[in-house]
Structure 1
Amino acid sequence: MTASSSPSGFVVVMGTAGTGKSEIARRIAGRIGCRFVEADELHAPEAVAQMRDGFGLTDEQRRPWLDAVCDRALAQDDRPVIIACSALKRSYRDLLRARLGSARFVSLEGTAALILERLQARRDHFATASLLASQLATLETPQPDEDALRLDIASSPETLTDLSCAWLFDGAVSARHRA
C-alpha cells in the first residue's frame, strides 16, 4: 500500500493505557507511509505528573490536551495522519471529529487482566497500572454509528496492523478478530 492509495483524513488508534495504541499506530503509519502523531507527547507536565502519581485526568484537564492533539494533526502537510490517542469517551471522540473534520477510529480492547499484565511489564511510561481502573471506568466503547473498528488486543501486533489496514482500505475485517 502506498500513500497515494491511503485513506484520507485522520485515523485515531484508541484505547486505555497498555493496549498498544502507540505501537499499532506507528505500524499503520509505517505501512501506508504517512504521518504519525503521539498524543502522549502533548500532555502538560502537570498532567503527566498527576498520572504518574496514579490519578486520572478530568474532562477539563483533557480538553486542552485534545485540542493540542488536533492542532498537531492538522499541522501535518499531508493526509492521512495516524494518531495514537486514548479517546476514551464518546465526547472526546466527538471533539476530535469536530476539530479534524474526518476521523475514523481503531479501538484496541482487551481484558483487564491482559492490560494489567502489559502495564506491569512496561517501564519508563507515566501511565502505570495504577491508572487502569479509572481508565476502564471512563471508557465508553465506540458505538456502531462512530466509524470505528474494535479489535481484540490478544491478537499479535502484526495481525492488528493487518486488520486495521484492511479495514481502512476495504472495510473488510473478519468478525473473529473483532473485540
Structure 2
Amino acid sequence: MSSCLVVMGVSGVGKSTVSALLAEELGWILAEGDSFHPAENIAKMAAGTPLTDTDRRPWLAALRDWISEQSEAGRNAVVTCSALKRSYRDILRQADADVRFVHLSAASEEVGPRLAERTGHFMPTSLLESQYAALEPLGDDEPGASVHAIGTPEEITERTVKELGLPA
C-alpha cells in the first residue's frame, strides 16, 4: 500500500508551496486539491460564499478516489486539501492508501496578509474567518502532525519531514 500526505489547513497557510516542496524532496507525485472542485464550488467561493458540507462531499470523494488510484498504481502522493473538519478527513482516510495529514497551522493574523497578497486564486480574503471557524485540528487518533507554518517554505518542509519521520 502506498502513502499519501494530505497537506491541510486554511487558505493562504502555504499548502500548495509546501506540498510542492514535499513532493519534490520525497520524489512523490503531487495533486492540487483545488483542481478537483466542481465549477459550482469555485463559483460559490469566488462570490464569497462559504461551501457547505454538501458542496464538499463530491470534491472530497474525487480526491479520495484519486488517492486510491495512485496507491493501486504503486505511487506515493502529496495532496493539498483544506480538510478543515474531521468528517472531511474521514472521507479521505477511506482511500486505499496509508493517508496521513500535515496540518499547517498559523494564526489568522499571520495568514491574512499572505492571502491578501495572493493573486490569481478564487478564494477571497473575506472567507478566511469562516475557515478558521470550521477548522477542527487533528485529533490524537488521526495519523499525521501539526506543523507551525511560519518561516520559509523550505524550513516548514524540513520540519514536516522530521516530524513525520519521512526519508529525505
Using the size of structure 1 for normalisation, the TM-score is: 0.86
| 1:57 partnered with 2:51 | yes
User: Is the CA contact (8 Å cut-off) linking 1:37 and 1:73 kept in structure 2?
Assistant: no
Partner residue in 1 for 2:142: 146
Deviation, 1:111, is 0.9
Partner residue in 1 for 2:65: 71
Q: Pick the aligned partner of 1:117 from 110, 113, 130.
A: 113
Secondary structure at the aligned position of 2:119 is classed as: coil
Deviation, 1:99, is 2.6
Deviation, 1:101, is 4.1
Q: Supply the AA of the counterpart residue of 2:122.
A: F
Question: For 1:57 and 1:67, how far apart are their aligned partners in 2?
Answer: 15
1:50-75 CA-to-partner distances (Å, cap 9, x unmatched) read 00111111001100000111222222
| C-alpha RMSD of the superposition | 1.7
Percent of aligned positions that are identical: 39
Question: For 2:164 and 2:34, how far apart are their aligned partners in 1?
Answer: 23
Secondary structure at the aligned position of 2:165 is classed as: helix
User: Is the CA contact (8 Å cut-off) linking 1:15 and 1:107 kept in structure 2?
Assistant: yes
User: Is the CA contact (8 Å cut-off) linking 1:9 and 1:102 kept in structure 2?
Assistant: yes
Would you identify which runs of 4 or more consecutive aligned residues in structure 1 move more than 6 Å? Answer: none
Question: For 1:115 and 1:59, how far apart are their aligned partners in 2?
Answer: 23
User: Is the CA contact (8 Å cut-off) linking 1:10 and 1:100 kept in structure 2?
Assistant: no
Number of equivalenced pairs: 165
Q: Pick the aligned partner of 1:81 from 77, 81, 87.
A: 77
Question: For 2:66 and 2:145, how far apart are their aligned partners in 1?
Answer: 23
Partner residue in 2 for 1:176: none
Question: For 1:68 and 1:170, how far apart are their aligned partners in 2?
Answer: 26
Question: For 2:32 and 2:144, how far apart are their aligned partners in 1?
Answer: 19
Deviation, 1:27, is 0.5
Using the size of structure 2 for normalisation, the TM-score is: 0.92
Question: For 1:100 and 1:118, how far apart are their aligned partners in 2?
Answer: 35
| 1:40 partnered with 2:34 | yes
Gaps of 5+ in 2: none
